[in-house]
Amino acid sequence: MENTTIRVVWPTNYNNKMACNGGFIHLDFAPEKYPLLSEIEKTVIIIETADGSHGPVKMQLVDIWPLPLNKLTSMMTLASHGMEEKEFADYLFEKHGYDKLSIKGLAIYYYKKIS
């Protein structure tokens, strides 16, 4: 089967994670529909930054886990965005509003770098 390529643009290279050689996590809104493992395995994701803080990286999504807001911890937010839990929550509320967060929810995206 042929791979599907998806382009994703982040505002910036949060926590310099795109420079990691192996992989990283990223906290973001939960998908409307979680993909099947067979879909994930054949999808290549090119992540770019809007501000040019890092060149494009080719990634594969390994897994996605739903994350209720009340389960958010600094361990997750520091690894993903380089922010403490409260700072990250305030950033999301300011940028997107409480309604969008409470309706969509968050997810932890696990990415591995591919060549």
Give the start-to-end residue ranges of the domains of the chain.
4-113
CATH of domain 4-113: 2.30.130.30
Q: What is the pLDDT of residue 115?
A: 75
Q: Which of 29, 41, 37, 33 is nearest to 2 (CA)?
A: 41
Average pLDDT over residues 23-48: 93
**Tokens 């791979």 -> residue:** 3
45-86 pLDDT tens trace: 999 999 999 999 999 999 999 998 889 999 999 999 999 999
- Both tokens of 102, joined, read 């409470």
Phi first, then psi: give them for residue 91, nearest 5 degrees: -60, -45
Return the H-helix or E-strand segment holding 48.
Answer: strand 43-49
